[in-house]
Amino acid sequence: MLGIVHYGPNEVHRGLRELDIPISFVNVPVLGHGDGICELWWSQQKVRTASHGPISWRANESLLFLTVEIGNAEQCLQDATRDAYCALLAEINALGYPHLLRVWNHIGDINDDSTGLERYRQFNMGRQEAFMASNWSVINVAPPAASALGAQRNTPLALFALASHHAPLAIENPRQISAYDYPQNYGPCPPTFSRASLIDLDGPTLFISGTASIVGHQSMHPDNCREQIRETLRNIEALLGEVRCSHGVDWELANLQFKAYLRNGADLWMFREEMDQIVGKEVNCLIIQADICRRDLLVEIEAVAL
């Protein structure tokens, strides 16, 4: 096993910590699994494992899974995010997996703006600072695929990631402006992520970033969850079309393994209805209740294609 992600009420399965496998506890309700659920990342090859400061990792020859623990509860989110990403970028370089493939971020109280700047926007500033400090530039290094969701107030930042030995290809979505080019009305710093990463791991593998009801840079269908689900799936279709045309790999919605985040648990039935309709009855989807990074968004969907 490469790593574990536990979604659910924090640390009900505390014993998992003793396994010496990197594990991220994400304090969010799993719809339909009250006690929580573990996502397991498996390797076909031998793995080695270690930890260093706030980072725990396991790796095989091509892939590294890591978790970052945020230590200092006193620190502001921007600084904590910067420090976490600086540690992450330094560690993957030192270990020989310099390409950040996919990052998952869960930020406690993500939409809270009581300090003047919404916490998601503070997070974006810290994340960008860390990428800049490592001499990173969109021109020569693609940002990772990512997702950024809420979590319970007492989780400052839960972060886990995959890094690779070989460089992935970054994919952008023809229906959406690249997130790193968003205008400043979404915050002083744009988010640092690509719409998807494509890599060969015993065959082509696609990591699709959290995708929402955004066309261009604008949120579509505020307050209408059903239309947001449909728009989001159109965005994922467009991304698959891009992968098909530009890279010759042919995936359909029905081949994907999905993870979805709903702002309101009450929309679960509607989400299932739309997924059944559009993707098919056999759809593979873990559904989590979490806040989305823009207040007007009610749903975000990510996926992996193997």
Residues that bind ligand 3EB (CB under 6 A): 105, 146-148, 179, 191, 193, 209-210, 212, 214, 293
Residue closer to ligand 3EB, measured from CB, 179 or 298: 179
Residue closer to ligand 3EB, measured from CB, 87 or 146: 146
Residue closer to ligand 3EB, measured from CB, 25 or 193: 193
Residue closer to ligand 3EB, measured from CB, 44 or 184: 184
- Shortest Cβ 145–ligand 3EB spacing (Å): 8
Three-class DSSP category at 272: helix
Residue closer to ligand 3EB, measured from CB, 113 or 276: 113
Q: What letter represents residue 204's amino acid?
A: P
CA distance 112 to 119: 6
- Shortest Cβ 93–ligand 3EB spacing (Å): 21
- Shortest Cβ 302–ligand 3EB spacing (Å): 7
**Residues 30 and 261: beta-carbon distance below 8 Å:** no
- Shortest Cβ 152–ligand 3EB spacing (Å): 19
Q: Which of 203-207's residues contact partners 24+ apart within 8 Å by CB, and which partners?
A: 203/306, 204/247, 204/249, 205/304, 205/305, 205/306, 206/171, 206/243, 206/249, 206/251, 206/303, 206/304, 206/305, 207/101, 207/102, 207/145, 207/162, 207/168, 207/304
- Shortest Cβ 224–ligand 3EB spacing (Å): 17
